[in-house]
Structures are given as C-alpha cells and as structure tokens.
Amino acid sequence: MADQLDMEEVLSGNPYDTDFGKLANGLTYYVKVNDRPRMRAHLVLAVRAGCVLEEEEEEGVAHIIEHLAFSATSSFQKHEIVKFLTRIGLEFGACQNAETTVDGTFYKLIVPIDNTETLSQAISILSEFSSEIRISTEDLDNERNPILQEYRDSKEIEGRMSDALFGILFEDSKYQRSPIGLVQVIETVTPETVKQFYSKWYNFHNIAVIAVGDFPNTETVVDMIKTHFGSKVSSAVNANIPKFLVPTHQMPRFKCFVDSEASKSSVQICFKTPVNESPMTVKDYKNRVVEFMFHVAMRRRFNKVSDKIDRPYFRFRMEAGLFAKPVKVHVLTSECKEDGIILALEAMLTELARVRLHGFSEQEIYLAHKLIVSKLESAYLQRDQMESVHFQEGLIKHFIHDEPVLSIQHEAKLRREFLRDMSASEISDYAKKFHSTVNCVIMSTQPRDGVTVKDLEDAVIKINSREKDKSISSWYEEPIPEEIVTTKPEPGTLVKCSDFHNIGATELILSNGMRVCYKCTDLLNDQVVISGFAYGGLSEVKESDYLSCCLATQIAGKIGILGYKPSVLKDILTGNTAVVGPLIESYTRTFSGSCLPADLETALQLIYQLFLASVIPKDEDIKMVMDMAKHIFSSEENNQYRVFESLVKECTHGKSYFTRPKRVGDLENVDLHKACDFFKDCYTDPSNFTVVIVGNLVPDVAIPLILKYLAGIPIPSSPVMKFNRDELKQLPYAFPTETVREVVCFPMVEESSTVKLSFPLLLKNEEMTEYNRFIALWQNLLSTKLFEVLRFELGEIYDCDVIVNAAASMPSNVGNFCGDLTVEFSCEPEVTQSLVDATLEEIQRLQDEGPLTEELEAALEIDRRESETALQKNGWWHERILASYQSKIYSGDVGASFDAAENRDLTFRNNLTPEVARTALRKLIPYPCKNWYTLVTLMPEDNSVEDSE
C-alpha cells in the first residue's frame, strides 16, 4: 500500500544500470549498454551553458559557439567534422546534430560501432568540442549569415508568438530571452567575446559525456572517454553556474499580442509552479503522478467542451514543461474564432473552477487511471527494447536538472502503489494550483486589434466571481458504451493460405475476397502495425464533386466514421492502445493503425466498424463541421506561407480543380451528404482491400480474430468502387512546357525570402521501377551538395531541402510519370537571385561532370547505415511488404515482388559509378537544367527579384 512507503525517502541520485562517474578534471560521464538500435551508439556532449548565462553584449553567443563547433577545431579544419559524419553514414543538417537551449548546449552524434575506431573518433570529436573549438575572425564571419538566416526563420509568426509569451511569462528574469540571440550581437560580436564565454563556461565541471549504445561492455567506452578527455584541463578558474530566479507575481499578467501574419486567433493561460531544488523524494514522485492524472482528466474535459455544437473554441492543447530551470509551466491553449477569444478564455477558466468546486467525477478518474495503467504496461513490455535515445534524454535531464533516472520496474512499482489508493479528491485538489491569480499569465493572439487587456481582465473577474458565488454547476457526464461492436459479426472462412519464406510472411485470402498478409516479429514486444489499401480514390470522382469528396475523410471523421462521435470513441478506447484511421488519396483508399498485441482484437474491431458503420450527417453535425471547415479554410487564406505553397503548386502542377487552393467561399458548394456517401462507398467492399499486419503476433490467436472481424465484413450485393490499377483516371497535372518565374510579395514583419525551384521528372511510369533508386540517390546528393555550396562556400543560408513530389503520379505501368523535384531554401532577400544562379550552376555542373566517387560512397554509406537501423523496426518491414503489393511489377506473388526490389537495390549498388549517376540525373530532370524549370519566390512586399538568364 502507498501509505507503507517511506514518502520522505530520497530517490537514488545514481542512474540505474549506468556506468557513472567523474574524471579528475571534473568531467561527468555516463555509459549505458542498450542494444536498440543494434550496432549503434548515441553520443552526447552536454554543457550547462545556455543563453541564460549570457550578458547583454553576449546574447546569442552560446548558440554561435554551437555553430562554430562544426566549422573547425584544433584537429579538424574547415567542416572536416561534417565530412567525417557523412563518410561514416550520418546525415548532417540544421538542428540535427546540436541544440542550444536556455540552460544548456547539446552536441549529439549517432554513430555505427561495428569498428571501435569510429566510436573512438566520434568521442574525440566531442572532446574537441569541449575545449578546442576554433574561434577566429574568419570562422565567425563565415557563420554570421547562416545564423542570421536561422534568426529570420525563427522569427516567423510562431516564433514571435513564443517570444511575446516568454517575455511576459519570464518578465524581469534572464529566462525571457531566446537562444538565437540578438541581431546586433550576431552581426558584430568579436572573437574575443566569444572566446571569453567559451573559456569561462565550457569548464569540465559543467560538461558531461553521455554514451548509450550496443556496447559489449561499458569499461571499453569509459576508457575511450578517459583517453580523449582525461588529459584536458579547464581554463576557467571559477565556473559555478549561478542560480537565476523567476520572480513570482501575486496578480495575473495579461498581454494582447497582435500580429498581421497571425492566421488564426487563440488564447493561452499559463500557470507557473516552482520546481523543488531538493533531491526528489517518493512524495515528490507521487505528486508527479497526481499531476499527470490531473492533466489527463483535464484534457479530456476540455476536449469534450470543444466537441459541443456551440463550442467556444475549435482546438485545445494542454502541456507542461521545464521552460526554465526554476519553474514548471503549465500551458492551456485554445484556438478559436477571431471574435471568440473571450468565450474561449471563459470556457477554460470555468472548467478549472468547476473542478475546484465539484471535483472530477468517478468516471473521469477511472478513465484517467485506465490510461496511465495502459502506459505503464506498454513501458514495462518494452523495458528491454527502448531506443537508446530514450535513455539518452533521461541522462541529459539527470545532468542538467538533477532528475533521478529510475528503472522502469521501479517506476512501475511506485505508480501502481500510488494509483491503488489515489482518490478523486486528491486529483481534483490539484486544480487549486491553477487559479488565475498567483503566477498566472494570460495572452491572446489575433491578426488585428480587437480584444483588449481590459477584456481579458474582465473575463477573469467574471469567472472568479461565479466561482466565489458557487454558481457554476457540476459536470454532466454522459454514459459510455461498453463495447465497440454491438452486433457481432458472422466469421468468414479462409480460402487460401500461402507462405512466403523469403520475407517470413503468410498471406491469407479470405472468403469475402480480402487479402491479408501478416509477418510475426520480435523486434518490439509491444507493437503491431496494420494498414490496408485499395485502388481507386479522388481521381475517380467528377470535377463537380471533387471538393466535397476530397473533404470526405475530415467530414466523416468529425461525424464519426466508426459508429461513434470521436469523443465517445476515445472514451470507449481509453486504456486501449488500438488506433485506426482512414485516408482517401488521389489513387487509393487506405486505413492504418497500430496497437499492443493484447489489443489486436480491438484494432480489428475498429476496421470492421469502418466498413459497417453508417455515416449520416444530422443538422447539428452539419453546423459543427461547417464551422470547423470555415475556421480551417480561413486560417489557410490568412497564412501567407500557405498561400505561397498553393501558388507554387498551381505553377508546377497546372491550374485545375486538383491544385486550386480551397477558399471559404467554396464551402457553399460542399455537399456533406455527398461527402459521406463517397466515404461510405470507399469503405464498403472488402474484396478490394489488401491488408498488411506486422509485429508481435501469435498466429493461433491472430488468425481466428482475422477470420472473425476481417473475413466477417459482408460483401455488398454488387461490387463497389472496384478498380484495376492500370485503368485509373489521371488527375490533371501539367508541368509548364517552358521556364516560368514568378515572384509573390507579402508584407512581412521579419523580412526573408523563400525560394522554390522545381524541375519536372521526365520519366514514364514503366521506368519508375528502375529509376526509383536514382531519384532517392539524387535527392540525397543534391541536398548534400547544395548545402555545401549555399551554406559552407557562400555562407548565405541556414538549411535547404530537396523534395520529390509525386502526389499526382499514377500507380500504373502506363502513361507518363507526374512529379517534380524541388529545391527549397530561405535567405536574405538581397541575395536571392545570386543563390538561385548558384543552385542552377551546381546542378548543371553535376549533370555535366557527375558526382565524385567519394561523394557516391558517402551517399551509399548513409543509405546502408539507415537500412541497418530500419531493418530492426516493424515499420520498415510493414512498408516494404506494402510497397511490394503496390509495386508496378506485382502480379500476385508478393514474395517475388519483394525479391525483385531487393535485387534491383543490389544491382543498383553494384553498378553505380559517377558516370551512371550522371547519366541518370540527365534523364531524371531536363538537361541542361537551366533551360527548363519553375522558380517561385516569396519576397517582402517592397522587394523584387530581377530575372537573369
């Protein structure tokens, strides 16, 4: 029993099952053996040096040091570290290998460890970061523009909202600042100032090395750490990290944030609670469990409010986190109509007050309890199969925040003891922490002036008065159905069973025509992945019906695609891990989901309900759905980046009903009954569907359930939406026949340019089987080469992407492939055209000369290493089997289709040379590339781009 526990017992400060200690120079090390993923190590250099340590003239220096680390150190010259990472099969990219926060800076590497030399060299790189980052005038000047572009990217509307919130949340505290820093500092800071910060705070007493991986033992890794770090000495004399306070405030703080780029209105309520700096006790841990239960029950209640016909808000989110070391912040966010901010605020305050007055119902606590127990069971099942990143994050928290790292067994034991005796009143009392007085911050966000601070204050006074008068009634709780499937299916039979030994899978042909392929694995104890597909989707509907039908999934989803409204179904499934969701795409209808092995029956019941449940909109459903649709469409119209994306799509795909952006006015032409009828037709005939199930399955258990629920789906009297793969209609797609350049101008708060440079993929569908690997190869190579040119050589961007779009391409073997390859990056407006020219120049150079041998080898090594990790995941097997069924060469034998793909991969690798790659690039996109492309550029309103040939 919980009362038999020693509540004052201090939980162990030593991470469980971890080799943990300190070197003579003060460095802390953590080494833990974990075999997921196999032959990989997650390495972290964690430094207690974040932006909170910066003085005014240093704001942004902690982040600048993070950038300089990958530029050069004592032993590695210009970007040699990046080349090392790609050579051993790791991708390098923005935010991928390092992160600066308020309280720390973290350098992260995931390295293959099939030879000890690679691991040793990776640890040596971390040791260079700890004390030997090169900080020269040249290095600093080369990084200023990329950091400035990262600054511009971070100051888009979401970033400005965060800055505004943090400014009032942490007012009069150093925690209100952002790690990205100030423009003036980024532009002018001297190497001496950066060196001063580096030498002062990168003291080994403030640094930890964390290594979690598939090591044969910890001793060898500890010896490597000692070899690379042991002889190093900190230059700082005194490097104790000072404590920074977050002042309390007895009255709530209010802010009305108005930003012309805000595409939707919202209101946030934040509650700051102090963090206990003493070592965590059993009582402290129990309080965390109470807090978690409160959050679960509160989220459910808020979401119930958002499901009402006269809803005060559309979406709700509740989260908590250590945004600053001294305090935990609980944030409640409601997204609402522009004129609905006060209603949304009052609704959230009312529910908190309702809990303080009346508490949670027994049913609410029961459901929260079920959810936590199911999470405990899942964690316990996978206790020996956790990904290394899970343990890595726990050890970072131990070092930065002194969080205890308990074993899953110990946590499970404590939680079970607490949950056994936890009362509804104990959880309800937690709401007293969330009163709109002490340490409360309320902020509204809107695109134009409307709500005032006085309005926010009045809303708080109004609800506080109602709470004081006890005029808020108790919560009404609707009864929850006990079962998902009320009418039990008549089980079907097995018509044919085929084993495909090459992929370890079994295929079942069911009596209703459905094809099911399952593969049993031991990759994760707690996972089963399920999906199904059938040919025929949006391409088969009339143009006049397209808008209604393309919204069918969202419309039906709000009404209840599985026979129940979403909120009711969520209650039924509380504590159950089964999830299934449908999606209607251009040429296919699909459903996908996952579950614990113990919940497989529930997952199959959900699929059964998908085919059997009626979706008939009632008047109240129509109002609710249309309100939500208007909100979404309006948000899209007001989001300048969404508008830009739509214009890019129209430019590269052609202006048609398929690509035209949806607008609020279009909703007049949406027929909800037609949308629901189309949705129902999509999921009526089981004979059209192939289902793939992969995970921890027991055939003797799974097959009877498959026969009961999947084979039990009745066949319609006549075929519904039965389509042949090679006879589907082509959606309208038309890449321009000549070069097109468009400039889109919008007023911007933080001026930046975004470039989308697209090339048509010049292939026929019948060639895609052969050229798929070349598309993936060149997507990788172009990303790497353009990043090198635009970031490292020219020093003008923070990141760039190469994206392949094939949404309009048919799955058949006939006709032309419909797709494009797009290069995307953001930059300072004044350099836009020069970077576009450099991009075209580099792509054409690669078409003329091909890649270097070492660049090909690096790309193949990245691919090989990713494949090694992917093979250890159920998701990879699931996707590859599904792809084998959807392959253009599939003709009834999934094993043969799978082998053909494997053989193509092997042939591709064995025959790949720079000349072969060069020839492929010339065939994939126009040659020379400068002669045919589309260029759409987003610019600030008072800027323009001059065309240049």
Query: Which residues are CB-contacts of 413 (< 8 A; sequence separation ≥ 6)?
Result: none
- pLDDT attached to residue 95: 44
Token reading at 742: 């468009």
- pLDDT attached to residue 238: 65
- pLDDT attached to residue 791: 94
Distance CA 481, CA 613 (A): 15
pLDDT band per the 50, 70, 90 thresholds, residue 421: confident
The verdict on residue 259 lying in a domain is yes
- pLDDT attached to residue 759: 98
pLDDT in tens, 83-128: 888 888 877 664 458 999 999 999 999 999 998 899 999 999 999 9
The verdict on residue 147 lying in a domain is yes
* β strands within 438-563, DSSP E: 440-446, 494-500, 505-510, 515-520, 528-535
The verdict on residue 109 lying in a domain is yes
* β strands within 351-404, DSSP E: none
pLDDT in tens, 538-588: 999 999 999 999 999 999 998 898 888 898 999 999 999 999 999 999 999
Mean pLDDT across 867-894? 95
Provide the annotated active-site residues. Answer: 66, 143
Distance CA 858, CA 838 (A): 23
191 cis-preceded (ω within 30 degrees of 0) = no
Domain finish residue from 710, 730, 749: 710
CATH of the domain at 174: 3.30.830.10
- pLDDT attached to residue 938: 97
Tokens 């299916």 belong to residue: 489
* Mean predicted lDDT score pLDDT of the chain: 93
Least confident among 259-268, 591-600, 647-656: 647-656
Query: Which residues are CB-contacts of 155 (< 8 A; sequence separation ≥ 6)?
Result: 163, 749, 750
Residue 550, Cβ density class (10 Å: 0-12 exposed, 13-18 middle, ≥19 buried): buried
Same domain, 197 and 262: no
Distance CA 398, CA 406 (A): 10
The verdict on residue 519 lying in a domain is yes
Helix, strand and coil content of the chain, in percent to the nearest 5, comes to 45, 20, 35
Least confident among 384-393, 854-863, 918-927: 384-393
Distance CA 660, CA 541 (A): 16
Same domain, 775 and 649: no
Token reading at 706: 């498959």
Q: Which long-range contacts (CB under 8 A, 24 or more apart) does 674-677 make?
A: 674/545, 674/548, 674/549, 675/548, 675/549, 675/551, 675/552, 675/555, 675/556, 676/552, 676/555, 676/556, 676/559, 676/615, 676/616, 676/617
Tokens 């499901």 belong to residue: 307
Transcribe 167-236 into DSSP letters.
HHHTTTSGGGS-TT--HHHHHH--HHHHHHHHHHH--GGGEEEEEEE--S-SHHHHHHHHHHHTT-----
pLDDT in tens, 453-496: 999 999 999 999 999 999 999 999 888 998 899 888 999 999 99
* β strands within 379-500, DSSP E: 440-446, 494-500
Mean pLDDT across 690-717? 98
Distance CA 491, CA 709 (A): 7
Same domain, 854 and 923: yes
The verdict on residue 722 lying in a domain is no
Distance CA 289, CA 296 (A): 11
Query: Which residues are CB-contacts of 277 (< 8 A; sequence separation ≥ 6)?
Result: 326
What order do you get walking across the sheet with 440-446 strand by strand?
253-258, 440-446, 265-274, 327-336, 315-324
Query: Which residues are CB-contacts of 642 (< 8 A; sequence separation ≥ 6)?
Result: 263, 636, 661
* Residue-range definition of the domain harbouring residue 57: 19-230
Same domain, 445 and 570: no
The verdict on residue 476 lying in a domain is no
Q: In this structure, how many other beta carbons lie within 10 angstroms of the beta carbon of residue 419?
A: 17
Same domain, 199 and 281: no
Mean pLDDT across 751-775? 94
Same domain, 200 and 263: no
Distance CA 945, CA 939 (A): 8
Q: Which long-range contacts (CB under 8 A, 24 or more apart) does 194-198 make?
A: 194/61, 194/64, 194/65, 194/68, 194/135, 194/140, 195/135, 197/49, 197/53, 197/54, 197/58, 197/61, 197/62, 197/65, 198/65, 198/133, 198/135
pLDDT at residue 945 tops 80: no
pLDDT in tens, 486-527: 888 999 999 999 999 999 999 999 999 999 999 999 999 899
pLDDT band per the 50, 70, 90 thresholds, residue 135: very high
- pLDDT attached to residue 307: 85
Angle at which helices 282-306 and 408-421 pack, to 10 degrees? 70
- pLDDT attached to residue 949: 37
pLDDT band per the 50, 70, 90 thresholds, residue 943: low
Percent of the chain topping pLDDT 70: 98
Distance CA 792, CA 418 (A): 54
Same domain, 862 and 926: yes
Does the CA dihedral 773-775-781-783 come out positive or negative? negative
The count of structural domains within the chain is 4
C-alpha 537, offset from chain centre: 27
Same domain, 687 and 777: no
- pLDDT attached to residue 408: 87
Same domain, 345 and 419: yes
Distance CA 864, CA 735 (A): 34
Residue 178 and residue 51 in contact, taking contact as beta carbons nearer than 8 Å:
yes
Higher-confidence position of 803 and 946: 803
Same domain, 542 and 677: yes
pLDDT in tens, 606-664: 999 999 998 988 888 888 889 889 999 999 999 999 999 999 999 999 889 988 888 99
The verdict on residue 403 lying in a domain is yes
pLDDT at residue 2 tops 70: no
Provide the whole-model pTM: 0.94
Percent of the chain topping pLDDT 90: 81
pLDDT at residue 944 tops 50: no
Closest by CA position to 894, among listed 905, 882, 883, 884: 884
The verdict on residue 157 lying in a domain is yes
Same domain, 298 and 215: no
- pLDDT attached to residue 284: 94
Same domain, 94 and 216: yes
pLDDT band per the 50, 70, 90 thresholds, residue 236: low
One-letter amino acid at 523 equals: L
